[in-house]
Amino acid sequence: MLANMKKKLLAGDLIGILIILAVIITLLGFFGEGFLSSYNLENLSKTIAVTIIVGLSQLAVLSIGHLNLALGAMGCLTGMFTGFLLQSYQLPLVLLILLGLSAGALAGFIQGLFIVRTKINPFIVTLAFVSIFMGLVTGITKGEVFSMQPDVFKLINTTNVFFGIPLLLILSLAIAAVLSILFFKTVFGRQLLATGSNLKAADFAGINTLFIVVCAHTISGFLAGAAGILQISRMGSATPTIGTDWLLVSFAAPILGGTLLSGGKVSVLGTILGAALMSIIVNGLFLLDVSQYWFQTFIGGILLASYGIDKLRRVYLLQKQS
């Protein structure tokens, strides 16, 4: 019976995380004072919204077996650029957001192009671009905070739609839906997964894998930029601290949801659930009056656990194929 349960948990990526979510929500409902209050649930859903986009940004490169250590820096760069435009120029909101998203996509494009042109390991490249992007932010802004935001931009954070569900969450789920269609309903999405599954086989099949790598990093930068814009709308200001705590959750959310670190297999829905789990755990720690100094310890432990789940899942898949 236990062996059969283990098999189901490994085969059904979402079953395990759904069980964990149900248990944690139930426990916090009983022991977390104020967890089920409308105020807390609204703020929690906004946190989940940003975390979903952060997780999807990492998922974009995990699909090809890469990683993006610079996504937090990309989000910060985009957020600060958008904040500067908000404070300095009276641009239409749509144009403002498009310019911000373009900045994130450009950062991802440059990173991906550097990887394919130099053939340097993506880990090293993305680690180096953390310093490059953050250096640009601090060098240009001198640590300045941009807080003069028009009311129409703040509406992204304050507007609730559909039975009180925040607009932020609706936007995040809409982006997730588009990404899901891209991965599972288009030729380009299948090429992304084929490249992550077996790079040489993808090359032999005629897929332009260098182009795919650049595209994956561009998408990751675009999504990191989207997370940065949503975050400054939430905070009401653009600060150089945006994205500093995104890295661990960006890996944990997709991996807990069934995405493989080795590439070739992703789960957009699983990433949404993983983002919800990570956000709820942090929220629960706060409500249970656990010191914020311990938060990173818990998140690091969850990341290690998610890596263990990923390893077990890969072993199971190999056994199933053989």
State how far the alpha carbon of 28 is from the alpha carbons of 17, 40, 50, 128, 280, in Å.
16, 12, 22, 40, 9
In whole angstroms, what is the distance from residue 238 CA to residue 37 CA?
Answer: 28
Q: Name, in order, each residue with C-beta under 8 angstroms of 261's C-beta and a sequence gap of 6 or more.
A: 62, 65, 67, 255, 307, 310
In whole angstroms, what is the distance from residue 172 CA to residue 57 CA?
Answer: 12
Q: Are 111 and 70 within 8 A, CB to CB?
A: yes
CB atoms within 10 A of CB 200: 8
Residue 54 has pLDDT above 50, yes or no: yes
Tell me the one-letter amino acid at 143.
G
pLDDT of residue 316: 65
In whole angstroms, what is the distance from residue 25 CA to residue 284 CA?
Answer: 9
For the chain, what is the mean pLDDT? Answer: 87
User: What's the mean pLDDT in 307-320?
Assistant: 66
Q: Are 106 and 50 within 8 A, CB to CB?
A: no
pLDDT in tens, 220-232: 999 999 999 999 9
| 235 alpha-carbon distance from chain centroid | 18
- pLDDT more than 70, % of the chain: 90
**pTM (2 decimals)?**
0.89
Tell me the one-letter amino acid at 59.
L
Residue 295 has pLDDT above 90, yes or no: no
